[in-house]
Copies of this chain bind each other. A is one copy, B any other.
Amino acid sequence: MSDPLYLEDFFVGQRFEAGGFSLDAEQIKGFATQYDPQPFHTDEEAAKDSFFGGLAASGWQVACLTMKQMIEAGPKVAGGQIGAGGEIRWPRPTRPGDVLAVSCEVLEVKPSRSKPVLCFVTLRTETKNQNGETVYVFTCQMLTFRRPG
């Protein structure tokens, strides 16, 4: 286990790799049935006639599996990875058989004057497929804490 990261440990341009995951048709359909039950996520045949032209993963599944990777293999943030919000994009669909890689980069470090203990780091998390194409970007305002003492 590496030491947890406090505000003082982050700097602009800092990068972290966070491993990856793959998705097959059964996983795509299983998640979508629970959380995003639309034909292009749950039914190969119906998906052919949709905007996606074939089965595609719910963007929320990509977001959730990316989050899991960030926790299990990404930066060890003191106090945990707590996002207040941010900008989310799915530039490209994720398909059955895709192998995804997760990484993130620090875009901004913002010490707070009003709440000196509690600060924000802007972290851009990006998930790319096996062709190096970006399928998901989450630019998040992440809570960070000053190192105590």
Contacts and interface: CB of A to CB of B under 8 A. Distances in A.
Given A87-B85, A90-B85, A67 B143 contact: no
A26 to B, nearest CB: 15
Contact of A37 (B35, B72, B82, B88): B72
A34 B67 CA distance: 10
B51 A82 contact: yes
Nearest to A86: B88
A37 B68 contact: yes
Contacts of A72: 37
Contact of A50 (B59, B63, B67, B80): B80
A90 B63 CA distance: 15
5 contacts: A36-B71, A37-B71, A37-B72, A51-B82, A85-B90
The DSSP consensus for interface residues of chain A is mixed
Question: A interface, how many residues as a size bin?
Answer: 20 to 34
Copy total for this chain: 2
A52 to B, nearest CB: 8
A107 interface: no
Interface of A: 34-40, 50-51, 58-60, 63-65, 67-68, 71-72, 79-91, 137, 143
Nearest to A37: B71
A143 to B, nearest CB: 7
A111 to B, nearest CB: 17
